[in-house]
Amino acid sequence: MAARETILIRISGPDQTGITTAAMSILASADAIVQDVEQMVIRGRLTLEISVEVPPARNVLKDMLLLGWQRGLEVDFEVVERAPTPSIPSLIVSVIGAELSPGDLETVTAAIAKANGNIERIRRLAKTPVWCYEFEVHGGDAAEMRTLLIDRAAESPRFDVSVQRSGLARRAQRLVVLDVDSTLIQNEMIDLLADQAGVGEQCAAITEAAMRGELDFEESLRERVALFAGQPVEIIERAYEQLELTAGAETFIATLKRLGFSVAIVSGGFTSFTERLATRLQLDHAHANTLAHRRGVLTGELDGPIVDRAAKADILRNLAALEGISTEQVIAVGDGANDLDMLAAAGLGVAFCAKRVVRDAADATVSSPHLDAVLFLLGVRREELDQDGLVRSERT
């Protein structure tokens, strides 16, 4: 008995209903064995590739050519190795930018090739409010690839990149932990309070001293909070009214909830704000510092432990344990040095509109001021958001 051959059948042309059904009907009638199938449609143009073992008689190929003639499609064949393509652990490289030119994509693909990665598939996930392409890459060194891509993105800050393992690790993500100031919201809570208390300049001076390294986070926080001593608690309400959510924040959280994620906020700010945000956005967890008050007046002190850089990471680990998951299943999003430990503790740490020191340390970066752009790192398509009616007006 003559050996069966393995043929790669390629069908291309205008997309039409029933093409795949007709092709499979021909193969079924010929007692062929399908080894692999790939299909895609771009701008109404179909490409269907089928790797198939066929019997020695060539009627199956003639029938495929007839199908192409009847449907106005191109059909060609190629004899390939019988052994299936080996399964190689793959990486997902996400590229996000306000615009992504051919030169940007050349830069990305060259870095992938230099790290010995082979691009298996490219998908466009979004073109508004930013462009995003997702590359599935087989082989290559993940650490080298990430370093090369981060360096290229820093040299030409037109795009952001992330490198993640594909497969179960990515699909098993279940918890997102967000910083609040300049991440979930556009403001800084303490600055809003200082403005309402009439101590904005003094508060800013202490902040600048901390940035110069003259004060650590806890010292600077306590000194700034002390400025509020004697102020009525009503300034909290007035300050909250000035709060503005980051563009895309509601869409981001609503989508995560629909995907089955738990969502937490962990902030060096104040529970007077975070508890209201948690209620408004239906968040699962909220942690922050507590402003002390007596008889309707702020004391200028804090109750309880300080939520600082180390505490944020500890809270993330505790939340993962509470949710019954590993920290590898956690995504953390933040912008400042105070978030570095939290980003490092998560399976995926995302630097959002962050300074260079945070971008360099994070697993992924998003420079677009749209928080829902982080969804593209999870493989969510913009069209899915539009179809589900999740894109909305997002002002406080």
Please, which residues bridge with residue 302 across strands?
291
The answer to whether the predicted template modeling score (pTM) of the entire model surpasses 0.85 is: no
At which of 112, 134, 164 does a domain end?
164
* Confidence at residue 390, expressed as pLDDT on a 0 to 100 scale: 59
Work out the average pLDDT over 327-332: 95
Query: Active site residue: 104, 160, 181, 335, which one?
Result: 181
Whether residue 64 contacts residue 20, with contact meaning beta carbons closer than 8 Å, is answered with no
Residue 391 has pLDDT above 70, yes or no: no
* Confidence at residue 113, expressed as pLDDT on a 0 to 100 scale: 93
Please, which residues bridge with residue 121 across strands?
136
* Confidence at residue 171, expressed as pLDDT on a 0 to 100 scale: 78
Encoded amino acid at 248, one letter: G
Q: Where is pLDDT greater, at 389 or 154?
A: 154
At which of 23, 52, 79 does a domain end?
79
* Confidence at residue 86, expressed as pLDDT on a 0 to 100 scale: 56
Residue 84 has pLDDT above 60, yes or no: no
Residue 235 counted as domain residue = yes
Residue 169 counted as domain residue = no
**φ and ψ at residue 129, rounded to 5 degrees:** -75, -5
pLDDT digits 0-9 by tens, 245-263: 999 999 999 999 999 999 9
* Confidence at residue 83, expressed as pLDDT on a 0 to 100 scale: 62
Query: Within this chain, do residues 122 and 210 fall inside the same structural domain, yes or no?
Result: no
Query: Within this chain, do residues 52 and 117 fall inside the same structural domain, yes or no?
Result: no
pLDDT band with cut points at 50, 70 and 90 for residue 89: low
* Confidence at residue 165, expressed as pLDDT on a 0 to 100 scale: 85
181 is catalytic: yes
The total number of structural domains that make up the chain: 3
Residue 212 has pLDDT above 80, yes or no: no
Query: Within this chain, do residues 102 and 250 fall inside the same structural domain, yes or no?
Result: no
Residue 348 counted as domain residue = yes
In sequence order, which residues have a C-beta less than 8 Å from that of residue 216 and are 6 or more positions away?
210
Work out the average pLDDT over 217-230: 94
Work out the average pLDDT over 259-285: 96
CATH number at residue 259: 3.40.50.1000
Query: Within this chain, do residues 242 and 148 fall inside the same structural domain, yes or no?
Result: no
In sequence order, which residues have a C-beta less than 8 Å from that of residue 186 and are 6 or more positions away?
244, 245, 246
Rounded to 5°, angle at Cα 94 from 43 and 156: 105
Query: Within this chain, do residues 278 and 373 fall inside the same structural domain, yes or no?
Result: yes
Query: Within this chain, do residues 143 and 239 fall inside the same structural domain, yes or no?
Result: no
Whether residue 49 contacts residue 10, with contact meaning beta carbons closer than 8 Å, is answered with yes
pLDDT digits 0-9 by tens, 35-61: 888 888 888 888 999 888 887 766 788
Residue 280 has pLDDT above 60, yes or no: yes
Query: Within this chain, do residues 197 and 277 fall inside the same structural domain, yes or no?
Result: yes
* Confidence at residue 195, expressed as pLDDT on a 0 to 100 scale: 95
Residue 91 counted as domain residue = no
Please, which residues bridge with residue 92 across strands?
136, 164
C-alpha 304/C-alpha 322 separation (Å) is 21
How far CA 210 is from CA of 150, 229, 320, 329, in Å, comes to 29, 21, 31, 34
Query: Within this chain, do residues 135 and 276 fall inside the same structural domain, yes or no?
Result: no
C-alpha 92/C-alpha 121 separation (Å) is 10
Residue 18 counted as domain residue = yes
Residue 209 has pLDDT above 70, yes or no: yes
Residue 156's domain comprises 98-164
In sequence order, which residues have a C-beta less than 8 Å from that of residue 307 and are 6 or more positions away?
266, 267, 268, 287, 288, 289, 315
* Confidence at residue 213, expressed as pLDDT on a 0 to 100 scale: 74
At which of 141, 164, 187 does a domain end?
164
Query: Within this chain, do residues 48 and 111 fall inside the same structural domain, yes or no?
Result: no
CATH number at residue 9: 3.30.70.260
Residue 278 has pLDDT above 90, yes or no: yes
Query: Active site residue: 160, 179, 341, 363, which one?
Result: 179
Query: Within this chain, do residues 352 and 219 fall inside the same structural domain, yes or no?
Result: yes
Residue 395 has pLDDT above 50, yes or no: no
* Confidence at residue 241, expressed as pLDDT on a 0 to 100 scale: 96
Residue 262 counted as domain residue = yes
* Confidence at residue 396, expressed as pLDDT on a 0 to 100 scale: 36
Residue 243 counted as domain residue = yes
Work out the average pLDDT over 63-73: 91
Mean confidence (pLDDT) of the chain: 89
Edge-to-edge strand list for the sheet holding 33-42:
33-42, 45-54, 5-14, 74-79
Query: Within this chain, do residues 186 and 320 fall inside the same structural domain, yes or no?
Result: yes
Residue 394 counted as domain residue = no
Query: Within this chain, do residues 144 and 241 fall inside the same structural domain, yes or no?
Result: no
pLDDT digits 0-9 by tens, 341-361: 999 999 999 999 998 889 888
Residue 173: which of 351, 388, 55, 328 has the closest Cα? 328
